[in-house]
A and B are shown apart, each in its own frame.
Chain A
Amino acid sequence: MSKETFEEALAQLEEVVKRLEDESVGLEEALKLFERGVKLARRCRTQLAGVERRVEQLLAEAAEGEEGATAPFAPEEG
Chain B
Amino acid sequence: MTRVRAFLLFISITACGPAAVRDGPLVILDDMGRTVTFAAPAQRVVSLLPAFTEMLFAIGAGDRVVGRSRFDEDPAEALQVPSVGDGLGPNVEAVLARTPDLVLIYRATANNEAVAQLERLGVSVIALRTDLLNDVPRTARLLGRLTGTADSAEVLARVFENALDSAREVPVMVDAPSALILAWDQPPIVIGSGSFQSELVQLAGLRNAFAEVGQPSAQVSLEMIVASDPDVILTTSTDSIPAWARRPEWRAVRAVREGRFVRFDGTAFGHPSFRALHAVRLLQARVAP
A binds B: no
Q: Interface on B for A, CB 8 Å cutoff?
A: none
